[in-house]
Structure 1
C-alpha cells in the first residue's frame, strides 16, 4: 500500500511537533518519492544532520516503502525570517 502525504504529515506532527509542513508526493501518486518542508521547535540548536536524522527516525517505518525523501528542516525562527 502506498504511503500518503496525510500519513507523513500526521506522523511528523506527532513525533516532531511540527508547526508547519509542506509535503508533496513527487512520484505521480505511487507514494515512493516526496519533498518536504518541516518546521519544528525541536530543531532548535540542532545541526542539519541531526535534524535529518530526527525526521528519518520519526518516519522510519514509512521510509522502508519510500525510495526518495527530500527534506528541508527549519526552526520556527528560521521559518519566520525566511517569510518576512
Structure 2
C-alpha cells in the first residue's frame, strides 16, 4: 500500500509522524536554511524553519522576526528572504514565508 493511501485510510499515522517529527531534531535542509538566514539576518529575534514536505526538502515554511524588516513593506521583507535563499530555492518546490518586526 502506498504511503498516501495509508494516510488516507489511517489519518492517525500522519498525526503520529507529525508528533514524532516535532519532537526530533532539525532535518539537514532545515539546518542549512536556518544557517543561511542567521548569517543574512544576524539581528533576527526569532527564526523558525520547518520542512513541510514531510522531510524530503521540497517545501519549507519560514517564520522570521527581525529588526532589519522595520520600515519595509511585507513584499520587501519577503524579497530579502528570497534573495538570501536564492541558491537554495532552486531545488525547492515551494516556500512559505512569514515575516515580522519585533515589538519595541
**TM-score normalized by the length of structure 1:** 0.84
Alpha-carbon displacement from aligned partner over 1:15-52 (angstroms, at most 9, x marks no partner): 02222111110111111101111111110000001000
The aligned runs of 1:21-60 (5 Å cut-off) are 21-60=47-86
In the alignment, structure 1 residue 20 sits paired with structure 2 residue 55: no
Let me know the Cα RMSD of the aligned residues. Answer: 1.7
Shift of 1:11: 0.6
**TM-score normalized by the length of structure 2:** 0.69
| Higher RCO (CA < 8 A, seq sep 6+) | 1
Structure with larger Rg: 2
Shift of 1:8: 0.7
Q: Which moved more, 1:47-56 or 1:26-35?
A: 26-35
Task: Could you tell me which runs of 5 or more consecutive residues in structure 1 were left unpaired when the two chains were aligned.
Answer: none
SS at match of 2:57: coil
Structure (1 or 2) with the greater helix fraction: 2
Task: Could you tell me which runs of 5 or more consecutive residues in structure 2 were left unpaired when the two chains were aligned.
Answer: 1-27
The runs of 4+ residues in structure 1 deviating greater than 4 Å are none
